[in-house]
Amino acid sequence: MGSERNRPQRYRDEDDYGEYRVRSSKRPRTRRKRRIWPVLLAGCGIGILFTVLAATIVVFLTLRASQGSGSNLGSFVGISNLGGIQTFTHEDKQPIALTTLTQMQICDTIGNVSILVDPTATTAMVLTKKIVHANSQTDANQEFQRIIVEVQPPGTITHPLTCTQTQPTTDAGSGLTVNVTLPNSDGLLHNTSNSVDVSITLPPSALPSPNPSMQVDIDAPVGNVNIDGITGLLKIKGSTGNIQVTHTALVDGSHIETGQGNVTFNGQLVMPTITNEQAPEGYILQSEQGNINVTLPSDTNVVLDANTNVGSIKNEFDTSLKNTGTSGPANYHGPLNTSTSPPSLAQLVLDVSTGNVNIYKSQI
């Protein structure tokens, strides 16, 4: 009888075979549940790690983007203070003894460049402003010493020019070179936090007479360029930043370009002397990504070559081209002003990859 009680219970299973199956009276073993807290803690740790990494990248990119203008650098102080980093500046003024200035060359890798002809000025003056980010004044002073700014006549610069294209050397009494050398990076933020703004003020007496015969070469890859009152052959090359040229007469062969930024010109075009031996080079204004805004006198006689791949062309002059669509591409090649005769052979090239071309008549 005892063996009868210990036998496993049987039941009829309606299967294909019609046989008896044995079901154990033992209760099935319950699987132990895994604790969720270690998984949550591990996930939080990974999330914090990625958050810190993302914040570091944002700070790095913000510093790099802020190099283009002094105002951006100043506004970054509030963010940099989270890590104890502050913005420090150091200014130097240097008067320049020039009888007549016929050539000017400025090489500034990171920083704004400004040239102004001031009727009230009596002496040419070069103002340089070093901008660094550091934890303390002591660290900032070390960074200031690492930045080399040379303001000397051509041919007397001791460090290699940072300009990609250089001008021929002229007489020391009629030329001016400003060369900025930033230190190589030995840390994450060295090259992204240091910059130098260059401001040059000239009296009208320093300009060559008769105008225009000055040659100006500016290489400013990261920063804005502002020229006011200079007349002559201008070759300005930027990569990131706006270029503004006002109260200026451009000579044939002038070339103004930037990679990302607007190009604004308000002035005149000096018509070249046409000879059988040499055709005019023309005037070229370019931007890969940005708008080109040009304001010219109503009697300007030049061939217009305007082009944009993505954007529009708007023109206030009397041509067959008035306005185009907003999406592009758009282009025009022909006389800027059909009311002038005979048509000029000089050509004004306004070329944009992504952006608008706007041509206005001067109100003067």
The per-residue pLDDT for 44 is 59
Confidence of residue 259 (pLDDT cuts 50, 70, 90): very high
Assess whether 76 and 174 both reside in one domain.
yes
Pairwise pLDDT comparison (60 vs 230), residue with the higher score: 230
What Cα–Cα distance (Å) separates residue 5 from each residue in 1, 8, 9, 24, 26? 7, 8, 9, 13, 14
User: Does the residue 229 lie in any domain?
Assistant: no
Q: Of the candidates 313, 309, 327, which has an alpha carbon nearest to the alpha carbon of residue 359?
A: 313
Average pLDDT of 67-89? 52
Co-location of 259 and 187 in the same domain? no
Which range among 36-50, 82-96, 105-119, 324-338 shows the weakest confidence by mean pLDDT? Answer: 36-50
Does residue 313 register a pLDDT over 80? yes
Percent of the chain residues topping a pLDDT of 70: 66
Using CA atoms, how far residue 96 sits from 41, 153, 171, 204, in Å, is 66, 9, 15, 14
Does residue 178 contact residue 105 with C-beta atoms inside 8 Å? Answer: yes
330 shares a domain with 259: yes
For 49, phi then psi, to 5°, come to -60, -45
141 in helix, strand or coil?
A: helix
The mean pLDDT of 191-215, rounded to a whole number, is 83
Are 344 and 303 in contact by the 8 Å Cβ rule? The answer is yes
Residue 33 has pLDDT above 60, yes or no: no
Domain boundaries, position 148: 37-209
Q: What is the pLDDT of residue 169?
A: 53
Let me know whether 191 and 46 are in one domain: yes
pLDDT in tens, 96-143: 877 778 889 999 989 999 999 999 998 889 999 999 988 999 999 999
Residue 204 has pLDDT above 80, yes or no: yes
13 in any annotated domain: no
The reply to whether 199 and 247 lie within a common domain is no
pLDDT value at position 317?
A: 86
Rg from Cα positions in the chain: 34
Look at residues 315, 311, 316, 314 and name the one whose alpha carbon lies nearest to residue 326: 311
Q: pLDDT tens, 42-51?
A: 555 666 665 6
175 and 45 in one domain?
Answer: yes
Is the domain of 280 the same as that of 165? no
Domain presence at residue 29: no
The Cα-based distances of 330 to 164, 294, 308, 326 in angstroms read: 32, 17, 5, 9
**234 pLDDT tier (thresholds 50, 70, 90):** very high
Residues 200 and 328 in one domain: no
Same domain? For 44 and 163 the reply is: yes
Per-residue pLDDT at 218: 95
The number of beta carbons lying within 10 Å of the beta carbon of residue 320 is 9
Distance CA 121, CA 144 (A): 29
Confidence band (pLDDT; 50, 70, 90) for 174? confident
Nearest CA-CA partner of 241 in 255, 268, 266, 260: 260
More confident position, 348 or 51: 348
Quick one: 179 exposed, middle or buried, by C-beta within 10 A (0-12, 13-18, 19+)?
buried
- Reading the block at residue 151, the tokens are 């303001």
| 155 and 45 part of one domain | yes
* Position 235 confidence tier, pLDDT thresholds 50, 70, 90: very high
> Residue 65 has what pLDDT?
43
Q: What is the pLDDT of residue 319?
A: 64
**Which residue's entry shows tokens 């990248």?**
57
Count of domains forming the chain: 2
Could you tell me which residue, 3 or 193, shows the higher pLDDT? 193
pTM: 0.73
Burial state string for 256-268 with b = 16 or more CB within 10 A and e = fewer than 16: bbbbbbbbbbbbb
Q: Write down how long the chain is.
A: 364
